[in-house]
Structure 1
Amino acid sequence: MATVSSAPPVLPVTTVPPVSTTTGSTVSGTGSDVPVNSPAVRVLINNLSESLRNGLAQRRPWTELVDRSAFSKPESFSDATLRVRKNYSYFRVNYYAVVAGILAVSLLTNPFSLILLIGLLASWTFLYLFRPTDRPLVLFGRTFTDFETLMILSGLTIFVVFLTSVGSVLVSALMLGVSVVCLHGAFRAPEDLFLDEQDNSQATGFLSFLRAPTTGAAAVPSSGRV
């Protein structure tokens, strides 16, 4: 007569690779180390995207910007200055777009400067900003600390901006963009604009991510870099 075993069945066991929860940590056990994005980087990207969405939401219709019937010669220099201030408060996002467009055209017409600028931004992004804090930079068999990496990238930035054509292209494009904005603001009569909404644009905009973080983002630990 066969004997029935009373032992419980053996359940399969799956081994889960350990995951470190520290900032800039890696996930091991897959044959290669996969960097985990730090919370500070995620907060920065979220702030940039939120600022971009808020800025685009405040864009005024382009038909108002180029309305020919609203252009007139200012009576005096003080009148022109007042017009520029009012038009800037109302067409803030549109003016940013105009300056950005002029800057983009200037860089596209100078491909060498564009390549140098892209290389500089890529160096800052991958060698310092997005690099995990627990992984020092290793180049040509030498290990560089965070301070040494920052000094190298700062020196490279000074060289690219001031000793190549990148600086002159950027300055020329910015000066041209500011001149176009000032001319439009001086000759565009703002009497038909609803300027009561200008205070709402002070809290948000394309540069709002440079201001103090919100209460939700304040609880996120720092990445450790200055």
Structure 2
Amino acid sequence: MTPAEIDEFFARLAELDPEPGTELEYSTPFELLVAVVLSAQATDVGVNKATKKLFPVANTPWSLLDLGEEKLKRHISTIGLYNAKAANVIALSALLLERHGGEVPATRAELEALPGVGRKTANVVLNTAFGEETIAVDTHIFRVANRTGMAPGKDVRAVEDGLLRVVPSQYRRHAHHWLILHGRYTCKARKPECPACPVRDLCHWPEKTAAT
């Protein structure tokens, strides 16, 4: 995609949804961090169902440590990999208390030092909770960046670096959410809705679907 096409791509998505956000439900940076850790290989809908019951009971590092790993597992047992995720949430809660006074740190290095937190999770928290211009490349963003020709890459880091180079500065704050929502609801993996796509004419994908 050319710079002009990329600019128009985001201008259209911005017009349709000026303030996009995560579909994970949270009210504090800590709740967001826990929800993102739980969302690995799981749907936002599934995570929200679990946290709706969990967060009224325990939504701080202190209360989660009081709840304990076994009870936490019962709250999140509907989510994939819940055993490992429960262990990570308890461990990161302890580390937040030990190193950060129970507060979620706002730097990549400190976030990635927490159990269960990799680059993608750190990017989500930095962008959504702290307003940083990061892009967390998940399967949806990876697909959109490659299909459209916006920032093709063989792995998620290559796509992330490519997007940060080509996304116009005025759109970088919300680019993460525009791309993920576009991939989730329009540029789908199996049945992309190209006829209804608002940026169809800008996309360089040669296999666009036709109206049925």
TM-score > 0.5 by shorter chain: no
Which structure dedicates a bigger proportion of its chain to strand? 1
TM-score, L = length of structure 2: 0.24
Which structure is larger by alpha-carbon Rg, 1 or 2?
Answer: 1
